[in-house]
Structure 1
Amino acid sequence: MFWIVNARRLKQYLIIFTAALFAIGIAWAERDNISIFTSGKNEPSAIYKVDTREKKLALTFDISWGEERTGPILDVLEKKGVKKATFFLSSPWSESHPELVKRIKDMGYEIGSHGHKHVNYSSLTDEEIQTQIGRAHEILKGLTGTAPSLIRTPNGDFDKRVLRIADKMGYTVVQWDTDSKDWMNPGTEQIVKNVVEKAHPGDIVLMHASDSCKQTHLALPAIIDQLQGKGYELVTVSELMAGTKVNTKEVQ
């Protein structure tokens, strides 16, 4: 009888101990911004960063409207000799600015999709999500001659359905781990600080080349100089993902 009671207590202690370890793991993961939310095995997920010790990161630029900011940003990248970056282009903007799309392509930068209409995909039906991704796909493929395989959804919004549909259509959803917050126009120095202080190996950095972001091209030279000064190699998202463990966050 004594042994049975002790065995029961031991089982209770083990359950409590396991739960405590799990809680600690959650806290640790959240501290390091590591995904702990899973929606089941073999489910598609969004890419936020990659786990690597190599000092490589990807600068990414979203473009959904405007014609005044993209050129100056490309000028900075060219002047600084940055050969690799990833641009996520919305298809209506691309149709309206084929010369800028061509320049991005000719400079050798990776082009991903930023969808068609700038709406939250999680608010759409499955058919509407397919239509938005598919229409952007055909337009970007037609303009660049290459079918994109990466997509950053408008506003970074997605749910399980978006991930599954994008995956079936041959796309990987790309998010970011460092937000420059250039969309807030907080000042050049703050944008530089937002990127450089948080940048880490395997990082995906969010910036914008739309007209609403008025300070990105002013902050970009210092961002590039300081990141390279710390020994970082600037690569595309696809290169960052190749041969490394991808760090993802899956939705409930």
Structure 2
Amino acid sequence: MNFFLVMNGKALKQMILIVVLAFITAFFLYIENRAYSPVFSTQDGPKAVYRGEKDVALTFNIGWGDEKAAPILDLLEKRGIKSATFFLSGAWAERHPDLVSKMVKSGFEIGMLGYAYVDYSELEESEIRKDISKAQVAFGKLNIKDIKLLRAPTGHFDQRTLKAAEHLGYTVVHWSVDSKDWTNPGAETIATNVKAAKKGDIILLHASDSAKQTVKALPSILNDLDNKGLKIVTVSGMIANGNARSIEIK
């Protein structure tokens, strides 16, 4: 009798585990397919946008390097794209004022990637504020004083980042489509990764020197977005009048 009780107990535990995993999977699928603009947030607190409701946002992170940003800017200009959003670290902007000026003159939107390339999820809120404030000073010296968007340098963030950003007047921006271009998997693979993009997506690309194949992948990416009839807009333009719902960051 004891033998059967043990077996039944194991079977019951396995069944409970399967049900729990199925519920979790269903929950995340539900969240990903909501028609609203999804955001990360603290409960009743500041938000971090990662999707919009219409169009697509093409975003580029730049934290370091001297070679890859200029060719990407040239390609976008040749294709008539003036609504991309560039998230720049303050340290990089200080070293490349001419490129920053070219971005602004070309009509691209500038977002902030902090100052140093540090993981905000490993910092105290006061340290995050200090890094953002240092970036503010750097961009201020370049006469760029109206930045409203912030992206966590490594993409990792929690409540501390959201609270620090809100305190300093920034909206944290994540992404919904990751090109994984920084892994240098080949231009075709990068373009394939972005093919999943649909209405409302924020696409993550890089223009740092570590992303060696992004400029080669861009023509295919732009062609695909054009074929889908997706208009490229700035992140600010995408989220400007959108309704949002949130899930809690703990």
Q: Compute the TM-score of the two structures, normalised by the length of structure 2.
A: 0.84
- Whether 1:233 and 2:231 are equivalent positions in the alignment is yes
How many angstroms does 1:28 deviate by? 3.6
The aligned counterpart of 2:48 is 46
The one-letter amino acid paired with 2:151 is R
Aligned CA distance change for structure 1 residues 27 and 36 (closer, same or farther; 3 Å): farther
How many angstroms does 1:38 deviate by? 6.3
CA distance, structure 1, for counterparts of residue 57 and residue 110 of structure 2: 13
The aligned counterpart of 2:242 is 244
SS of aligned partner of 1:60:
strand
The aligned counterpart of 1:221 is 219
Instruction: Kindly report which structure 2 residues correspond to 1:1-252, keeping only aligned pairs within 5 A, or say none.
Output: 26-30=27-31, 32=33, 39-41=42-44, 43-50=45-52, 52=53, 54=54, 56-196=55-195, 198-246=196-244, 248-252=246-250
How many angstroms does 1:39 deviate by? 3.8
CA distance, structure 2, for counterparts of residue 112 and residue 204 of structure 1: 14
Structure 1 residue runs of 5 or longer lacking an equivalent are 1-18
SS of aligned partner of 2:50:
strand
CA distance, structure 2, for counterparts of residue 37 and residue 172 of structure 1: 11
How many angstroms does 1:26 deviate by? 1.6
Aligned CA distance change for structure 1 residues 29 and 159 (closer, same or farther; 3 Å): same
Aligned residues: 227
Aligned CA distance change for structure 1 residues 31 and 157 (closer, same or farther; 3 Å): closer
Q: Does structure 1 retain, via aligned residues, the 8 Å contact 2:38–2:244?
A: no
The one-letter amino acid paired with 2:43 is G
CA distance, structure 2, for counterparts of residue 101 and residue 203 of structure 1: 25
Moved more, 224-233 or 174-183: 224-233
CA distance, structure 2, for counterparts of residue 138 and residue 163 of structure 1: 20
The one-letter amino acid paired with 1:47 is V
Aligned CA distance change for structure 1 residues 169 and 82 (closer, same or farther; 3 Å): same
Q: Does structure 2 retain, via aligned residues, the 8 Å contact 1:29–1:35?
A: no
Aligned CA distance change for structure 1 residues 93 and 238 (closer, same or farther; 3 Å): same
Structure 2 residue runs of 5 or longer lacking an equivalent are 1-19
CA distance, structure 2, for counterparts of residue 141 and residue 224 of structure 1: 32
How many angstroms does 1:243 deviate by? 1.2
Q: Does structure 1 retain, via aligned residues, the 8 Å contact 2:115–2:135?
A: yes
Cα deviation, 1:50-100, whole Å, max 9, x if unaligned, reads: 1x2x4x100000000001000110011011111111000001111111111
Q: Compute the TM-score of the two structures, normalised by the length of structure 1.
A: 0.84
SS of aligned partner of 2:111:
strand
CA distance, structure 2, for counterparts of residue 73 and residue 32 of structure 1: 32
Question: In percent, how many aligned pairs have the same letter?
Answer: 44
Aligned CA distance change for structure 1 residues 37 and 101 (closer, same or farther; 3 Å): closer
